[in-house]
Amino acid sequence: MALKRTRQYFLGVDVGGTKILAGLFDRSLRLLGKWKIQTQAGCDGDAVVDQIELAIRELVASENLHLNQILAIGLGAPGMVKGGRIFHAYNIGWVDVGIGAILRRRLRVPVFVENDCNLFALGIHRVELLGKPRTMVGLFLGTGIGGGLIIDGKLYRGFNLAAGEFGQMIVDKDGIRAPNSFPGSLESLASHVGITRRLRQAVKGGEQTMLQTELGERLNGLASDHLRMAIARRDRLVKRIVREAAEETGLCVAGIISVLGPEYVMLGGGVVETLQWTMMPVIRKTAATHVLPGTMEGIRILLSTMGEEGGIIGAAVFARDEFRQSARKPVGA
């Protein structure tokens, strides 16, 4: 799609463990185009930075634009974010990376950086829910599990800038451990990595799933679509483990509701999106049975409709907000 070069735009970039997705938006945050790059397993941190730059440049070129027409870039990535630096994003090989400064230097465009799940939550709140709820929690089940908090209508990062790490909540102290998480944490049990590990452990212990025929004993290449297909074909092992993951997610949601009492709990991410018909009823029922009577009244537990675009939409919202705020600052401030 060719666009007039007199217009100005925002970019939203979502960096994950398996892909980088970039989106082009106009001033009204209407999505005009996307560009996706699949990241390779074991890719080092420097290569991920190069791939982010490539995705941005390819998207801009594909829309017949130039980088000097971009007002600002919002970038979401896993890990804790402080001052444009990302810490402890192990799944993309980053321990301490000043990604904001690196991209500003390479692209000569303002770049604003935030945790990816915070931006997904921001996008849901501002675009999907039109900014109406004063309180909202986002809980996202993908390769790992993260979350975001909206309190008093604004993104809440916490004193430590790491609020919303719901994947690290312990829901079974005797449960398995996933990389870079804790034994029995929600991430260890209900993320894609966690579900895969549980299935492998069950198969190693002698249980059977039809997925072994296609994927082998190690279930290499297991995707959420495989899980959905197995459940549709009444695979007892897969159905049990996915149901257990949903119950554990429901326990986490119950804890969130008991502590925060948000108007909305919004779920997203590839695991729950693909397996929604199995997981969402269990999540709602489990949450409702693990809070005090009357606690659930008026609270809505919903699956976000934004899909994979949620991250880039939130990143574009963040870019526009931060750009406007920086434009209002006095010179020298």
Position 92 scores a pLDDT of: 80
**Would the CA dihedral through 240, 245, 246, 252 be positive or negative?**
positive
Burial class (CB in 10 A: 0-12, 13-18, 19+), 207: middle
- What confidence tier does 251 reach under pLDDT thresholds 50, 70, 90? very high
Which pTM value belongs to this model?
0.92
With respect to CATH, is domain 9-120+309-328 assigned 3.40.50.410? no
- What confidence tier does 64 reach under pLDDT thresholds 50, 70, 90? very high
pLDDT digits (tens, 9 = 90+) for 189-227: 999 999 999 999 999 999 999 999 999 999 999 999 999
* HEC secondary structure over 204-236: HCCCCCCHHHHHCCCCCCCCHHHHHHHHHCCCH
- What confidence tier does 328 reach under pLDDT thresholds 50, 70, 90? confident
With respect to CATH, is domain 130-303 assigned 3.30.559.30? no
Lowest mean pLDDT, pick from 124-128, 177-181, 251-255, 282-286: 177-181
Region 144-150: mean pLDDT is: 95
Q: How far apart are CA 256 and CA 278, in angstroms?
A: 21
Lowest mean pLDDT, pick from 28-32, 35-39, 87-91, 311-315: 87-91
- What confidence tier does 32 reach under pLDDT thresholds 50, 70, 90? very high
Residue spans per domain, the chain: 9-120+309-328, 130-303
Helix (H), strand (E) at residue 38: strand 31-38
DSSP string, 249-303: HHHHHHHHHHHH--SEEEEESHHHHHTHHHHHHHHHHHHHTTS-TTTTTT-EEEE
Region of 93 on the Ramachandran plot (φ > 0 left; ψ -120 to 50 alpha; else beta): left
Position 255 scores a pLDDT of: 97
Q: Fold identical between 9-120+309-328 and 130-303?
A: yes
Region 114-137: mean pLDDT is: 97
Contacts of 208 (CB under 8 A, 6+ apart): 237
Q: How far apart are CA 214 and CA 220, in angstroms?
A: 9
* Rg of the chain in Å (alpha carbons): 20
